[in-house]
Structure 1
Amino acid sequence: MGSDNLEETLGQALRLLESAVHHHRRSVLASASAELPVDGEAVAGWVARLVLRAERDVIWSLPEVTGEDHARLVGQTLAQLAGKGVRTRMLCPPAVIRGGTWQRSVGTVARLEVRVFEGVRQELVVVDGAAVIAPDASPGEPGGSRASMIQNSTVADMLHQLLCGMWDTAQRPMRPLSFEGGARGRVLREVLTLMAEGYKDDAAARKLGLSVRTYRRYVADIMRDLQVESRFQAGVRAVRAGLMESDPE
């Protein structure tokens, strides 16, 4: 099975399990769950306290950071886990790790392992492979401002295996120096866009107001930074890594 098919299959499996957690946490899983009926930042704080019980391993899927306070809390939690020697793996969509809030807080944590996966839509944390912390992803629904700790061994093992499978197929974040932002970063994204649209070098250079020689130098820089051998591969990898999005705030 190719990596694209594997990623799609894992994404579908995750959505099914997310649905099961959301719809059955108060019935099938009720006897194996502890719920906290709080809202807003209190949920994030409660999740952080549970995550800090970890002794060996945490794998955390995080679809978004909702603001500076949330990012700071996540960053502090991860730093404390690192201080305890707990291995911590984060799965996030590419846009999350490129955001300014992430870079200022979570991005400064030492020894944090991060991979990007577009299919992350539900926050789930598996602690030591035995407990799952599942904040409710639908705060607008009745009882939506909740978080559950699921200790059912079958469910925890299933979600742990799934997140580990996603981890194995997810990509390491690619943030080469030349894509960090500023005028050069904007030009490189424009070059990537024209490459993806199939522009010939001379036409692309005219469109950007560059000489053909300068345009080709940008193309060579992109292919070197992304470690690819063809322009098509460069386009695919850049899209997956979120490098063609606008500069982070």
Structure 2
Amino acid sequence: MSGEGPVTSKDVPPHELEALFSDPLERLHKILERGERHLEVRRAELADARYALFELAAHPAASTVRGQVVLESLPAEVAPPLLRHLVDTTTTVVRNCALSIDIGSGTDAENIRNTQARIGEGAFRQQTIYPMDILDTEPGRAWVRSWADAGEEQRVSLVPPSEFAIFDDQAVVAVAEWANPAADYVLIRDPMVIAAFTSLFDRSFARALPITPEGHGTDDDAELVRLLELGLKDESIARYLGCSLRTVRRRVAQLMDRYGVQTRFQLGVAAARTGLVALDRSTDR
């Protein structure tokens, strides 16, 4: 139009000029990075808000003993942000007892990444008891490997006591129905109950079996007999020891020939009599 003068560099905002000469792909990366940072902040704010709402809403439905809140119902939609909050405020150790890796609040992908990152950074230690049969499937072995790579201290038990996680001495998140991983969850913050869960976990962890790295089997006959004592199937023993099923069966046959016995029960008795395994060794795995 005749009344308008020519456009000069002063009329164009600096960020628009920069955009004209920068690489479009690079600009998109920067935009995405800014968006991701914004989302992380918003997620943290929303998690805090959810936890605050939970704090306000949980107490009326809580179980009490002598006026003290013991069990607080944990709605499914609140569980992931609450677990994130507990992980982010833990400074010493998380004690985790798992019955399943397929269901439950512990399977939230974002929380898994955050927890593994904090373990890797040395923010706290995590000890976990897994069911023995987790080593029988490739998804189970992959799960164990991913947590081992993060620095988790791992053991397996034939019968883990239940499903729960203890965060320092501040809280326990547990299934509302004992040993039922499909049940709802509860939050426990009573110090005496937390201490009882901690004692149960520490005793169970001490008696559970350390997970043998894949490909690093042992030739210890006493360990083989102890695994037989626990009633493990040959397939589970092979997984645990990191050797083939044929190797397990060959070693068992050799031991039976050595002790002159016909059954595996007789093998256990003979091994105990000769001192290969201890008679008073507890098997509450």
Which stretch of structure 1 is more off in the superposition, 88-97 or 234-243? 234-243
Equivalent residues of 1:115, 1:173 under 8 A apart: yes
Within 2, Cα distance between the matches of 1:238 and 1:85?
Answer: 38
Counterparts of 1:211-230 in structure 2, within 5 Å, are 225-229=218-222
Q: Which amino acid aligns with 1:26?
A: S
Q: CA deviation at 1:121?
A: 4.8
Q: What residue in structure 1 maps to residue 172 of structure 2?
A: 132
Q: What residue in structure 1 maps to residue 89 of structure 2?
A: 53
Q: CA deviation at 1:105?
A: 4.1
Indicate how the Cα distance of structure 1 residues 60 and 95 shifts in structure 2: closer, same or farther if over 3 A, else same: same
Within 2, Cα distance between the matches of 1:78 and 1:64?
Answer: 18
Counterparts of 1:191-230 in structure 2, within 5 Å, are 225-229=218-222
| Structure ID, larger Rg | 2
DSSP-derived class of the 2:127 partner: strand
Length-normalised TM-score, structure 2: 0.48
RMSD in angstroms over aligned alpha carbons?
Answer: 4.0
Runs of at least 4 residues off by over 6 Å: none
Q: CA deviation at 1:65?
A: 0.7
Within 1, Cα distance between the matches of 2:161 and 2:212?
Answer: 21
DSSP-derived class of the 1:166 partner: helix
Aligned pair 1:112/2:152, yes or no? Answer: yes
Aligned length: 174
Indicate how the Cα distance of structure 1 residues 54 and 31 shifts in structure 2: closer, same or farther if over 3 A, else same: same
Q: CA deviation at 1:175?
A: 4.9
Pick from 38, 42, 63: which aligns with 2:75?
38
Pick from 204, 217, 224: which aligns with 1:166?
204
Equivalent residues of 2:63, 2:69 under 8 A apart: no
Q: What residue in structure 1 maps to residue 31 of structure 2?
A: none
Equivalent residues of 2:74, 2:186 under 8 A apart: no
Deviations 1:110-133 (A, max 9, x none): 321001112215211111134212
Indicate how the Cα distance of structure 1 residues 81 and 175 shifts in structure 2: closer, same or farther if over 3 A, else same: closer
Query: Which structure is richer in relative contact order (CA contacts within 8 A, separation 6 or more)?
Result: 1
Deviations 1:169-222 (A, max 9, x none): 1110135428xxxxxxxxxxxxxxxxxxxxxxxxxxxxxxxxxxxxxxxxxxxx
Equivalent residues of 1:133, 1:150 under 8 A apart: yes
Identity percentage of aligned residues: 14
Deviations 1:1-47 (A, max 9, x none): xxxxxxxxxxxxxxxxxxxxxxx9624398435745433x7635533
Q: What residue in structure 2 maps to residue 203 of structure 1?
A: none
Q: CA deviation at 1:244?
A: 4.8
